[in-house]
Amino acid sequence: MNPAQLSFVILVLSGMAILLGFAAFGVQSLREREPRAARIALALAMIGPLIVALALLAPPLGRLLLLGILGAGATAAMVLFLWPIGRIAAGRETPTIRFDERDIMFARARLKPGTPQHAAYYALRPANRAVDDEIRKLPGLLAAHAKKAHPLHFATAAACFTVPAALREWVDGQIAGTAREFEPARITAYLKGLTRYFGARAVGVAELRPYHVYSHIGRGSGEYGAAIQLDHRYAIAFTVEMDYDMVGPAPAAVEMVETAKQYSEAAQIAVQLAALIRSLGYPARAHIDGNYRVIAPLVARDAGLGEIGRMGLVMTSDLGPRVRLGVVTTDLPLIPDAASPDTSVLDFCRICKKCAENCPSRSIPFDDRREIEGALRWQIDAVSCFRYWNVIGADCGRCLTVCPYSHPANLAHNGVRWAIRRSGFARRAALWLDDLFYGRNPAPRPAPGWTAAADR
Ligand code: SF4
Ligand code: SF4
């Protein structure tokens, strides 16, 4: 084959690859209910081969020149792909204090004026009283007169929340007799497999550290304000996936249904796991919605499930922040996962800022991480975020739906995830492509078709 023939074959193959690649991505985007991405991909599926066809009409020398340019471009992209730009020197950031659960917005919102808990808290934190009183006057979560209220969806979400509420007293219990002996690696592998079998997406083990544990009880079982003693040695942390289609319309009532459902799933998994471990003769406590003794995102991060990103949620490697968390703490000897910081996520969050731009309450910071209680991190404005939730009646979730890490785990998006883990250039290119295909301020996606029956 002479060079002219070779250039002809390479160009034809390139044209076919462009056509098939973009067409497949376009079809996938339609299935993901991303019309903008589908339109762009299908346009590129036509334009790319058209350019190649025009090149085929050129004289052999022109074709060779075009191939040379394409080859040089591909080589430059590969070099940039390996270039270590955007490398962040990051240690494992660990807070130097234990957080008080009474300070979280959920705990503060439950305080009823005239109760001893209300009096005790605002004697402790008088500065929080005015803003909390203001939030208490808003419609509130799942309220019928909230801005995004939907009678059937809110009723569904409330029904899902009855599961973690009903399991509240089952998070802990009696230990059965004598502790059975297990080889730590074997029981760790079994429990991880079992957790996935129960419905978790990912699972990891961390050694329990003091900063994982709240200092005082703010809600759930136990006495409000009591100091927390939790001396378990290990924590099993897991994620459950939030359905891509259900979170797409956020902020919307239908997204709240998905949040409630996944808290319910996580609670069932954690309670079953803890009950099993207690039956083997070891203490174990499940940490579930409304009844935590630990800060689940910090435990999950240290168990190797992801990095804490700009929006303050755990960014998992395959689903980004589109997960909910569950934790079981125990003394059963386990093998912790070796979790080292994933600086690619921190670098991506540093340049991306899409969640901050799209947050309706402007609660997510635009600036770089800063040191808070001894740890370098981003801190969202929990008050303004929670205030917005109480206006709309749902948990918003706009930040997690626009996050480029939240796309479904399939071939195309997993390929991008793989690339951005290894290359600063790929991270910048991926962000540019995400803005191009999905928009810098993407419109909420339509709710799944079956939910329309709730509107009739
Ligand atoms: S939207 Fe961007 S900045 Fe925000 S958490 Fe996701 S990757 Fe990070
Ligand atoms: S949940 Fe909504 S209001 Fe809260 S930080 Fe995310 S986007 Fe902003």
Beta strand pairing call for 306-308 and 202-207: unpaired
Q: Whose structure tokens read 């808990």?
A: 117
Nearest to 238 by CA among 339, 316, 163: 316
Could you tell me if 332 and 248 are in contact, meaning their C-beta atoms sit under 8 angstroms apart? no
Could you tell me if 176 and 281 are in contact, meaning their C-beta atoms sit under 8 angstroms apart? yes
List the strands of the sheet with 202-207, edge to edge: 202-207, 234-241, 323-330, 284-287
Check pocket membership of 353 for ligand 1, CB cut-off 6 A: yes
Q: State the pLDDT at residue 94.
A: 87
Instruction: Examine residue 251 and say whether the peptide bond preceding it is cis (omega within 30 degrees of 0).
Output: yes
Given ligand 2 and candidates 383, 385, 402, which is best to mutate, with the most ligand atoms within 8 Å of its CB?
A: 385
Token pair of 448, please?
A: 């799944």
Nearest to 172 by CA among 229, 239, 105: 229
DSSP string, 209-246: -GGGB-SB--SSSS-TTPBP----SEEEEEEEEPPHHH
Query: Which residue, judged by its Cα, is nearest atom 3 of ligand 2?
Result: 385
Domain residue limits, the chain: 3-82, 139-438
Ligand 1 centroid, distance to 353 Cα (angstroms):
6
DSSP string, 129-150: HHHHHHHHTS--TT-TTSTT--
Query: Which residue, judged by its Cα, is nearest atom 4 of ligand 2?
Result: 385
Torsion angle of C-alpha atoms 159, 162, 164, 169, degrees rounded to 10: -170
Given ligand 2 and candidates 106, 395, 396, 441, which is best to mutate, with the most ligand atoms within 8 Å of its CB?
A: 396
Could you tell me if 199 and 210 are in contact, meaning their C-beta atoms sit under 8 angstroms apart? no
Beta strand pairing call for 234-241 and 284-287: unpaired
Q: Whose structure tokens read 């799942």?
A: 142
Query: Which residue, judged by its Cα, is nearest atom 8 of ligand 2?
Result: 359
Given ligand 1 and candidates 368, 403, 417, 427, which is best to mutate, with the most ligand atoms within 8 Å of its CB?
A: 403
Distance CA 234, CA 142 (A): 35
* Backbone torsions φ then ψ of 27, nearest 5 degrees: -65, -40
Residues with beta carbon inside 6 Å of ligand 2? 311, 359-361, 363-364, 380, 385, 388, 396-399
pLDDT in tens, the chain (456 residues): 777 788 788 888 888 999 999 999 999 999 999 999 999 999 999 998 898 888 888 888 888 888 888 888 888 888 777 776 767 776 668 888 999 999 999 999 999 999 999 999 999 999 999 999 999 999 999 999 999 999 999 999 999 999 999 999 899 999 998 999 999 999 999 999 999 999 999 999 999 999 999 999 999 999 999 999 999 999 999 999 999 999 999 999 999 999 999 999 999 999 999 999 999 999 999 999 999 999 999 999 999 999 999 999 999 989 999 999 999 999 999 999 987 888 899 999 999 999 999 999 999 999 999 988 888 899 999 999 999 999 999 999 999 999 999 999 999 999 999 989 888 889 999 999 999 999 999 999 999 999 999 887
Distance CA 36, CA 22 (A): 13
Interacting residues of 78 by C-beta distance below 8 A, sequence separation 6+: none
Nearest-atom number in ligand 1 for the CA of 311 is 5
Ligand 1 centroid, distance to 105 Cα (angstroms):
23
Reported as type and span, the H/E element at residue 375 is strand 375-377
Q: Look up residue 196 and give its amino acid.
A: R
Distance CA 192, CA 205 (A): 9
Nearest to 306 by CA among 413, 212, 405: 405
Nearest-atom number in ligand 2 for the CA of 399 is 7
Nearest to 304 by CA among 289, 314, 294, 290: 314
Interacting residues of 61 by C-beta distance below 8 A, sequence separation 6+: none
Distance CA 310, CA 320 (A): 12
Distance CA 225, CA 50 (A): 69
Could you tell me if 332 and 281 are in contact, meaning their C-beta atoms sit under 8 angstroms apart? no
Token pair of 67, please?
A: 């191939």
* Backbone torsions φ then ψ of 326, nearest 5 degrees: -140, 155
Could you tell me if 380 and 311 are in contact, meaning their C-beta atoms sit under 8 angstroms apart? yes
Given ligand 2 and candidates 105, 310, 349, 361, which is best to mutate, with the most ligand atoms within 8 Å of its CB?
A: 361
Distance CA 323, CA 300 (A): 11
Strand partners, 307: 315
Nearest-atom number in ligand 2 for the CA of 358 is 7
Task: Tell me the residue length of the chain.
Answer: 456
Query: Which residue, judged by its Cα, is nearest atom 8 of ligand 1?
Result: 349
Nearest to 284 by CA among 356, 210, 340, 231: 231
Ligand 2 centroid, distance to 403 Cα (angstroms):
12
Ligand 2 centroid, distance to 399 Cα (angstroms):
5
Distance CA 336, CA 233 (A): 10
Check pocket membership of 355 for ligand 1, CB cut-off 6 A: yes
Token pair of 425, please?
A: 């250039």
